[in-house]
Structure formats: structure tokens, C-alpha cells
Amino acid sequence: MTLPKPRLLYFGYQGRAEPIRITLAAAGVEFEQQIVEGAEVKRDLGAFHFGQVPWHIARKHGLYGHGVAEQARVDEVMEGCNDVVQQLYSKCINKGGPAARENYFVQHVLAASAAAATAKGAHTAFLSRLLAASGSGWFVESGLTVADISAAVVVSLHLRIYGRDRFAGQWPTLVALHDRVMALPRIAAYRQGPQCLPVVSPGLP
């Protein structure tokens, strides 16, 4: 019996659904997309719990690590990615302008600021440390997981705003992870295909 394709419901841009799309592509799972409007999400709370769109199905497709320890690390990285994205949008993208971008960079990207007494909130240094702790080139020893995919999407946002050279000057291992994830054949094919939607975020180049 042929199983139906998974159906991904999200807005008409990448947003928080992009890690899902890339995860499905990495797993070789064909999927359908249904574009929804913000008003629909808020109105139909039976379908969209908490007024949000679910974005995580990696457990089902074998991209959540092997064993409790690896899965705990994946959870840790995913929470870190969420925190970094929240800071990026609230302090940089949503505010717009050169001053906001520079302030965010100094507070949350600049390597020297990670250990400063005044440091507040998530920092890309946290992701870099967790990646280095594995030693495999991925966040866990067993290989690619949704943690790597989520971090690659986070790095991609930073590269769009700050440019490759500036961000890589602070966190070359995170850029190397980004490149490694995005170069995987299935993911590269997805990114060149019609299901890859535009970023469409205010403040992003």
C-alpha cells in the first residue's frame, strides 16, 4: 500500500518550516505544501494548536540521533537554535536598520562578547561549542540530524545579513557545517526546486 505524501502547512515563505522541508528532503520523503494565511492559523485552533504551525517531524524519519544521549543533545541544539532565531528577529530583523544589525552582531555573534559579563541571551558561540564537543563534524557522533539542519538554517540567515566573510571570521566551523548540510545531494536538489520558497522576511536582504 502506498502511503500518502506528508502535507506541510505553512505560510508562503521559508520561516520556521524551512528546517522541516530540508529534513524531509534529506530523508528522501516527497511532500506536498499547502500555503496558509495568518488569519486562518489564528482562526482554526483545532488544526493549528496554540495558533502556530508545527514544524518538527525528524523523529519519524530517523534524523533525531541514536539513543537517549544523542537525542538529548539534539533537543539541546534545537532549543539553542530557537533562542538564537528569537534574538535575531527581535533585535535585528524586526527592528531593521544598520544600528540594530550591528548591535545584534556585537551582542550575539562577536566571539569576544560570548564570555562578557554583560552578555545576555543566546549567542552563536553556544552552537559552536556544542558542535566542537562532538568531534564528528555533526552535532552528534552518529551523523546528520535535524540539529545540523536547524543550525544550518540559522547560519544561512546570518550569512544573508552579515555576509559570508564577516560571519565566518567569527565562527568558521558553523559556516563549514552550513556548507556541508546544504551540499548534501537531496538538500541541494530541494533548494534548486520549486518547493523551496523565498525567505521573505522584513529586514533581510
Could you write out the DSSP letters of every residue in 65-118?
-SHHHHHHHHHHHHHHHHHHHHHHIIIIITT-SHHHHHHHHHHHT-GGGTT-TT
Do residues 79 and 158 share a domain? yes
Do residues 142 and 160 share a domain? yes
Q: Which of 111, 92, 88, 114 is nearest to 101 (CA)?
A: 92
160 belongs to a structural domain: yes
Q: What is the pLDDT of residue 42?
A: 58
Q: What is the pLDDT of residue 186?
A: 96
Q: What is the pLDDT of residue 39?
A: 64
Range 40-52 average pLDDT? 56
Do residues 32 and 105 share a domain? no
Do residues 54 and 76 share a domain? no
Do residues 113 and 130 share a domain? yes
Q: What is the pLDDT of residue 5?
A: 80
**CATH for 50:** 3.40.30.10
Q: What is the tally of structural domains in the chain?
A: 2
Query: Residue 42's domain spans which residues?
Result: 7-61+187-191
Query: Per-residue pLDDT for 166 more than 90?
Result: yes
Q: What is the pLDDT of residue 143?
A: 95
Range 100-123 average pLDDT? 86
Do residues 36 and 124 share a domain? no
Do residues 74 and 175 share a domain? yes
Do residues 47 and 126 share a domain? no
Do residues 116 and 57 share a domain? no
Residues 193-203 have pLDDT tens digits of 999 888 877 66
198 belongs to a structural domain: no
Range 74-88 average pLDDT? 93
Range 2-26 average pLDDT? 81
Query: Per-residue pLDDT for 49 more than 60?
Result: no
Query: Per-residue pLDDT for 180 more than 50?
Result: yes
Q: Report helix, strand or coil for 36.
A: coil
Quote the pTM value: 0.85
Do residues 102 and 178 share a domain? yes
Virtual CA dihedral for 79, 133, 162, 115, nearest 10 degrees? 90
Alpha carbon distances (Å) from 85 to 62, 90, 92, 192: 25, 8, 10, 24
